[in-house]
Structure 1
Amino acid sequence: MSQGLRLSRRSGVLAAGALLLLCGLFAMGRPWATSDNDRYRSALRHLRVASGDLEMDVLRERMGLRTLHGSDPEDFAALRARADALRQFPSFLSAMDRRTMNAALDLFVSALEESAALLERARAADARGEKEAADAAVQALLEGTVSTRAERLINTYLELYERTQARNERSRIIFFIVSLALVAYVLVVMVRLSRATADLATLNTDLERRVEERTKALSAANDGLRASEARKAAILEASPDGILLLDGGGDLLELNPSAQKTFQVVAADVVGRDFLSVALPAELPDGARQKVLAAGRNTASGQATRLESPCLRRDGSTFPAELTIVRVPGEGPPRYTVFVRDITERKAVERMKNEFISTVSHELRTPLTSIRGSLGLLEGGIVGDIPPQALDMVRIARTNTERLIRLINDILDLEKMEAGKLELKVSTPECADLVESAFASVRGMADGAGVSLHAEVTGTPQVKADRDRLVQVLTNLVSNAVKFSPQGAGVTVRVGEEEDGRVRFSVVDQGPGISQEQRARLFGRFQQLDSSDTRSKGGTGLGLAISQAIVEQHGSRITVESEEGRGSTFTFTLESARPASVTPPPVIPEDVSRHEVLVTTADAELASLLGGLLAHEGYRVVRATSLIEAAKHLDTALPDALVVDMRLPEGHALDWVRRLREQPRTHELPVLALSGRSEDAEGVPHWVDWMPRPLEESRLLKSLRYATRQPGQARVLVVDDDASTRRTLCAQMERLGVQVFEAADGESAVELARETTPDLIVLDVGLPRLDGFEVVDILRQGKGRATPLIVFTGRDLTRMDERQLTLGITRHFTKSRASEEELVSSVRDLLNGLLARKAHPS
């Protein structure tokens, strides 16, 4: 109710203000300057009296009587001065009224001057004795008396005053009516406010109740939030790892006490500074420093990236650290959490372990080698015949010594591989020789186990590999196969070339097989299968781990196919060192989603330039260093375009292209010639372009784009969910003479782009089903990755959006800002000559 009282009091103030305004309006309606009116009327009466006295004195003078006031020129001047003083009008007279009074005063002054002139004329006539002339002048003076003019002046003023009073009266009436209306309005407002006050009071009571309820709920939630924040703060403060919060630019926003202790800094001194300058040593390469931030930017929201890097303390010392970078999920600017763990102790333990293994291994290797040699000499009878029983003991000792040496060598190999210090001496050994060397190492073991060895090498393949390491791998695999094969079984090593130009090695045994559970830990270090049968075979458990590491160094992996009770097959592939002697079957393209370009040149620098340029534009590049190699590739599979260097060492490149034109299979293959004269191409059909050196990259890309497109009219795909916008864009495109395809959603756009391969895409971002970003991402995976694109959208794009919305040559327009001329001009530019060629399909 207090709110209602305040509203009523305010309404009363409004009513009082209206009444005061009414009084003011009435006051404005009366003559505003009564004293001015009285003064002015008195002055007018005095002027009229003075005018009459002047005329009487002129008459008295003519009759020879004594004058009362005087009729000299000075008297006329004094009277005129009184008239001029009357030009200071009262303030209530309007401008028009003042002009009327000025005109009346002018008439009075002219009459006064005329009377003065007639009086002078009469006096002059008297002086000459011309009585009749003097009487006529006086008679004219009295007939046009000044007093009459003064009377008229008074009457004029009175009329003007009465008119002003009448206007004032009308104004008072109007003001009174306006005031009454204002009072009525205020009264209506007061009534309405009174009604609203009651409703407002009810609402206010309800609102106060709800606020109280919400306040209690909010208080409870705040209590829970404070408790949760307190728990989180306690966890952060108690965490042994340093925790830092970074913004998208890498600046420190917050860090916990452990981080301050680890880096020996105070939070107030480093918050807001760049994390790289605070935490990483300056002597680190730029690539290593930027790798830390790049790890965060490339991490998906909520996922973690872990890496190791030296970090910097405030005193200038460094320590090894494990950095775990997590992108904080949520909207808004990107945020990253970095968990820093000091791994000095871990590194020290690892270093001690490695040093121990290395020291022990090297210190053991020398005496063991001596022992093995000595035992071998004893076994060979160097000191004479040894009793059979003693000879058996010597043989056992030598065998176990060799086993220890192999174990030490395996451990050293593993340490080298983990440290990245294992160097491969790549050569091109014959595969048959590799298999025979492996068999030679295990034949004695196989004969002792009653297992036969078989080699099946198809052709004479060669591989690019370290011969000794590859023999080590085959030896390990074959020895394992022999170890687990039953007596009388066989172990087979199969070698053959694959269709993709690689060589496949397979080691097949007839052992008990390997279960799925055992296969998961087969290549682990010091891992052996746990059955008693397995343990009885012996072994260190390092052979397969080393073999897998060696094969991985060669860019492959060992895979296992096994079925319990039916044996196992260990397989890996290596790169072939030379092409097969026989014509291989058709090669399946590695990536059919991209256009293939065969580049034929012996210039390694030019090949590297073209390879990088075309791969960046989305083409799949195949290189041939000679016409013979190019011909073999063409026999295998036709590329989408052929780029030929006319300066090949064997020459005759032009004649070779002419022969291609004579063959039905390669008759229509588009060809781009490099570094030649254009006139040499006369008469050769289907040239795309002839390019002199130095190479013009833009011209090359333009020509390739024309070469790889489908023949026919220029094609434009318009993608927009608004039908009217689509119609407008299609009409603009059709005026240019292009073939237009429409899509109203993202899925239809992708389907049309795959079916028709457009020469240009005009794309909106806000689309149903798939938005513009998803459409672009999908098209990047196929042949559309180099298609020119115009992004025509109603939303404002950030720089990141523009980078994501990019295919080939791309331009971004906002619908509300781009003009029709700009859009059409960009379409012409991006079609890049196809408009002019539409009538001449390739």
Structure 2
Amino acid sequence: MEPRLPKRSAALAAGALMVLCALFVLGRPGSTADHDHYRTQLRQLRVATAELEQDVLRQRMGMAALHGASDRDFDALAARARMLRTAPDFLPAEGMRSLNASLDAYLRVLEGSRGLLAAARAKDQQLAALREAFPRQVATTAALLPPGATREQVEALGADVLLASGARVEASLSLLTRALEGQPAHAVLEGLAARVREMTALQRAADASFQALLDHGATGEAERLITTYLQLQEQSQARAERTRIVLFGVSLLLVGYVIVVLVRLAQASAALGELNRGLEERVAERTRALSAASAEARASDARKAAILEASPDGIVVLDESARVAEFNPAAAAHFRLPSARAVGADFLSLALPASLPASQREAVHAALLQGSGAARVETPCLRADGAVFPAELTFARVHADGPPRTTVFVRDLTERKAVERMKNEFVSTVSHELRTPLTSIRGSLGLLENGIVGELPSQALDMVRIARTNTERLIRLINDILDLEKMESGMLELKLQPQTAQDLVEATLAGVQGMAEAAHVSLRSDVEGAPQVKGDRDRLIQVLTNLVSNAIKFSPQGASVVVSAGLTADGRVRFSVTDQGSGIPEEKLPRLFGRFQQLDASDTRSKGGTGLGLAISQAIVEQHGGRIDVSSPPGQGATFHFTLEALRVPAPSAGVTLPADDSRHNVLIVTADADLSALLRGLLSHEGYRVVRASTLTEAAQAVEHAPPDALVVDTQMPDGPVLDWVRRLREQPRTRELPVLALAGRSQAGVKDAGTALLVDWLPTPVEETRLLKTLRYAMRQPGQARVLVVDDDATTRRVLCAQFERLGALCIEAADGESAVALARDTPPDLIVLDVGLPRLDGFEVVDILRQGKGRATPLIVFTGRELSRTDQRQLTLGITRHLTKARASEEELLASVRELLNGLLARRDAAAEPRKAMP
């Protein structure tokens, strides 16, 4: 059946024909007056643009402007150009776009000209300022130079810069540069040359900006704008004529086209019915595909459920309120709670024990609230039966359709913690059972090498020296391994204190000076300013010592190693160690900081080393919040550097900190001076003495009569009587005949000195010298005789080695093999120094110190000499008087002996003729 054309379609076609006829009648050219007015405006814009560029050129040549070339003139031109966007209405849309594009191009060129003019003027101003200051700089430079060719060239250069052209200035500058070649660098001449180059560059830049303004001026764009408009106007006229002719023919064709379209629409209706039938078939096919996808989704859900069921880690899904939505079997096993009881419960209340500290609970809560990524935290978790187990919780926020969910992965760390405890026990065993005998071996070999048993044959001495060297190397290797283990387990405690970079560098260079002299390598420090950091002094010196010793080992004879420190631009302190060795190959840099990594076995082995030093240094620097790195250009040596956060140390607070416990040694201070009394009270109380003050001789006599003190410190300037007469009366009484007396005098007086020789233990000038006062007071209250050192260690070999070393210094050694013996000997014969191991039978070192702290042994100097690594808490507990904490495997023999000499504080020189025999307690 043929499709039929509806009457309505025929009416529409006739109406379209009438509309086209009307358009044909109206399609005539636009108004001539509008065209002439718009063309006049374009020509005025061109003339104004040309006048502006002429004024710019006149100003550049130093002539007066006729019309002006300021920013306001540029703005006026831009405003006039924007007004031209309203063109005559006979232009078509495409013509308007072309015309607006030309206007935009004009505005861009005009704005570019303004920018080039501003840049040229700015550079001219900079050049003028430099030219104004240049004669003074030339005069200053010439004044610093001796008369001669160089000075004349400098003066000639100054004249050329101010008077000559650019080519002559460059020629003068080249002459000066060639004259300076081969001569020592002169900063002033280099600065002058740099200033000339800067002025030349500014001149060229200003000329280039002005030349660019002239080459690409807005006048040409104005000409092109007029040309564009005239072309568009001509095209519009021609198009209007053609349109009147074509439009009539098109109107006839349109009627036929409409009829054809309507016929085809009828045909399309039939095709649409066929298409609907095909669409129905496709919908059925799509339904079958969706059914298959649904089955696959169900299978995927089954696989996911199987994974959840088989996962060894607990998986808990939480809703937006942190309540349990899903609880897999592993989680039920970890918490010993059925899934049915867990679902709906608050997870934090379910998992965390009530005894958990608030800080840890807040950390878990913060991890739960983290919006993106995965947050991991270790915390004790609570089982349903009340038991607590260590767990690792990983929180992952899942963003999908619907409310947000959080997945918590729960891992039971019970087995891991047990393994860590076993490792820590092993480290402790190695620390005590291996390092203690090695320390004894090293000490014994050192005594043999130093001739304690007489002069050894040369071959035997070489063997002893080799054995001692290898023992020290083995001790260093064990120390390095234990250090790495502690760093990885987070057990290494840093004693963070304010440190100056200068002190760290000087201490490091002092420690390796002997090694550098043996290798014929010079050391040099370069510390800029006085930067400070907050860190562990010993550990930072360990890092620098390792880097400097490596630099010394791999530097040729006659080379120098530079240790530098200074502030960086970002406010950090940078430490650098630079050598003049052969450098490090680039391909070996990535593995430089690994464990047991040595770059060249044949070379490095001959120079010694375990391959752990850089790994330990990297770990120490990272624990201080820094980063260590190396740069090594081929054949130019290597530079190791690390940075730490700079520290601004606050001013120390005033006042004296009093000890928490009083000593049982009583010191009576007799002085009317409140300031002196406060000074002495703070000083002596800090050393562990109980201090009592008497402001008059009457009060002092009453105090001595009531309870004689252990020592008396008197001020010879008392207002209520002669002090020396009162002291003589004390010497005449049996109770106070042996009372130690220290007299304080403002100046050396003959009477005081004579009286002191007869009656006093010592007299001290004021202001009081603290070191001398403490030394004198300590000597006054000790039992007479040779300096006594109590050596407490459960290892007999270690005791014998230590006693042999101390006896060579002139001390009398008293040995104790356990804590109870040490306490009994310290009470029976108070020692002048205690050398104490921590791991003791019966009473350990902590208990020994606690007992001695309750009595007069509180002020006894102490050296804790142990193979155990002590935390800061341990060190605070192991403190009596002046205390040093040394590790057996780390402290050298020289360090130990130096500490003994320091703490005996002059008593080694006070030997009695008849020394007491050494007492030993098994």
Common fold: TM-score over 0.5 = no
Higher Cα radius of gyration: 1
The alignment's TM-score, normalised by the length of structure 2, stands at 0.38
The alignment's TM-score, normalised by the length of structure 1, stands at 0.41
Greater RCO (Cα-Cα under 8 Å, separation 6 or more): 2
